[in-house]
Amino acid sequence: MYLFSVNLHHKLFQNSASDKMAKIPHILLIYTGGTIGMVKDYKTGALKIFNFDKLLKHIPELNQLNCTIQSISLDEPIDSSNMNPDNWVFIAEIIEKNYEQFDGFVVLHGSDTMSYTASAISFMFENLSKPVIFTGSQLPIGDLRTDAKENLITSIEVAAAQENDQPIISEVCLYFEYKLYRANRTTKINAEHFEAFTSPNYPPLGESGVHLKFHKQLILKPKKAKPFTVRKRLDNNIVILKIFPGITERVVASILGIEGLKGVILETFGSGNAPTEKWFIDLLKETIDKGAHIINVTQCIAGSVIMGQYETSIELKKVGIINGGDITTESALAKLMYLLGENIPKNTFKSIFETQLRGEISEQE
Ligand code: ASP
């Protein structure tokens, strides 16, 4: 298991006199790993992590931004395939410890599981009133055709963007290839194109072209009156069950029979449809009766679960399956771990899951 420790505090980039400094935004850059900071191993040809010092040398342009940037690198930066809930808590704690000293946060993270981490952090942060921007890249920073520079520079600009001395963004976002998304609405869709992410059910919060534009009506308002709280208990006794034509009773029974299982993300067809065979519905019912929660999430990239639209989802509704609406699988997984960690009583769990907590799900009628 990979557990982080923070390595060092890098130098502060600052470019103006100290009286002006009080006004300009202070940004904390947190480096966790990913392609952005990788180099090719000459022997194996595989990409591996390299030192963060070298990464900063590749972007002298950072000195020109109208903000100060302080950075933290994790002791052992990792490929994001090795991320886990303990690491998410660690990242959240770095931000928590530095919350008052900084105006915005940029997290450099591998793109493979970025949507999972950023979704989880969005649920862990209650009453966030500052920007937390996740970014990474498809090509390493040293590569001639890299997308890393634009992603990093614009992410810092977004984190530093203010209006009337207030941050424009006060939620967890993911910036990639000219688009700023609400993080818990994103999913990685491409391992080749620079446009690696999409937000299928919610429009981008901003776009970077000749100008950096924000769509303010889409951005969550900060809840400044309430204290910023970090929820750190995540329960990962859950499973994602993706159904497919031909799935057998033996497979479903063994997955749902996992000891200590508390939650299931059921990835269904289309608008939330599943086989109507008795053994299937009975197994779901037994699982719910035992106290586990089952969330209906569509396998489709876009659109929403509408339970009861087809006969093939009526039974799911009847046995008490939770309607995941238009939530992404990544966000559903993070929300499930978060709500299980909060020990929400069984009788309110369904309605709380179906409620929008951090803008992750469209309100259902
Ligand atoms: N495998 C890398 C990671 O997720 C890919 C990337 O950074 O884009 O850490």
Atom of ligand 1 nearest to the CA of 138: 8
Neighbour count for residue 335 (Cβ, 10 Å): 26
Residue 272 and residue 312 in contact, taking contact as beta carbons nearer than 8 Å = no
112 lines ligand 1 (CB under 6 A): yes
Which of 182, 132, 120 lies closest to 331, judged by CA? 120
pLDDT at 21: 56
- The per-residue pLDDT for 174 is 98
**What per-residue confidence (pLDDT) applies to 50?**
65
pLDDT at residue 217 in the model? 97
- CA 106/CA 36 separation, integer angstroms: 13
DSSP 322: E
* Ligand 1 near 263 CB (within 6 A): no
Q: Beta-carbon neighbour count of residue 253 at 10 Å? A: 15
Looking at residue 144, its amino acid is L
Which of 203, 189, 144, 193 minimizes the C-alpha distance to 362?
203
Is domain 238-353 classified as CATH 3.30.470.10?
no
The pTM for the full model equals: 0.93
Nearest of 364, 357, 365 to residue 185 by alpha carbon: 357
d(CA 121, CA 126): 10
Residue 294 β-bridge partners: 264
Of the residues 32, 35, 108, 146, which should be mutated to test ligand 1's pocket, given the most ligand atoms within 8 Å of the CB?
35
The CA 313 to ligand 1 mean position distance, Å, reads 36
Specify the ligand 1 atom closest to the Cα of 80: 9
Q: How far is the CA of 35 from the centre of ligand 1 (A)?
A: 5
Q: How far apart are CA 12 and CA 18, in angstroms?
A: 13
Q: Where in the chain is the domain with CATH 3.40.50.1170?
A: 6-230
Domain 6-230 homologous superfamily, CATH: L-asparaginase, N-terminal domain (3.40.50.1170)
Q: So which residues are the catalytic ones?
A: 35
Q: Which of 39, 81, 116 to mutate to test the pocket of ligand 1 (most atoms within 8 A of CB)?
A: 81
The sign one gets for the Cα dihedral 179, 183, 187, 193 is: positive
Smallest CA-to-CA distance from 323 within 348, 359, 302, 297 is with 297
Q: Residues spanned by CATH 3.40.50.40 within the chain?
A: 238-353
pLDDT in tens, the chain (365 residues): 444 555 544 544 454 445 455 589 999 999 999 988 877 777 888 876 666 666 567 788 888 899 999 989 888 889 999 999 999 999 999 999 999 999 999 999 999 999 999 999 999 999 999 999 999 999 988 788 999 999 999 999 999 999 999 999 999 999 999 999 999 999 999 999 999 999 999 999 999 999 999 999 999 998 878 999 999 999 999 999 999 999 999 999 999 999 999 999 999 999 999 999 999 999 999 999 999 999 999 999 999 999 988 888 899 999 999 999 999 999 999 999 999 999 999 999 999 999 999 999 998 76
What is the distance between the alpha carbons of residues 306 and 273, in angstroms, rounded to a whole number?
9
pLDDT for res 172: 98
Measure the CA–CA gap between 16 and 189, rounded to whole angstroms.
41
In this predicted structure, what is the pLDDT of residue 225?
A: 84
What is the distance between the alpha carbons of residues 130 and 214, in angstroms, rounded to a whole number?
A: 15
Contact between 262 and 294 under an 8 Å Cβ cutoff? The reply is no
How many residues does this entry show for the chain? 365
Residue 305, helix vs strand vs coil: coil
Q: Does 177 sit in the ligand 1 pocket, CB within 6 Å? A: no
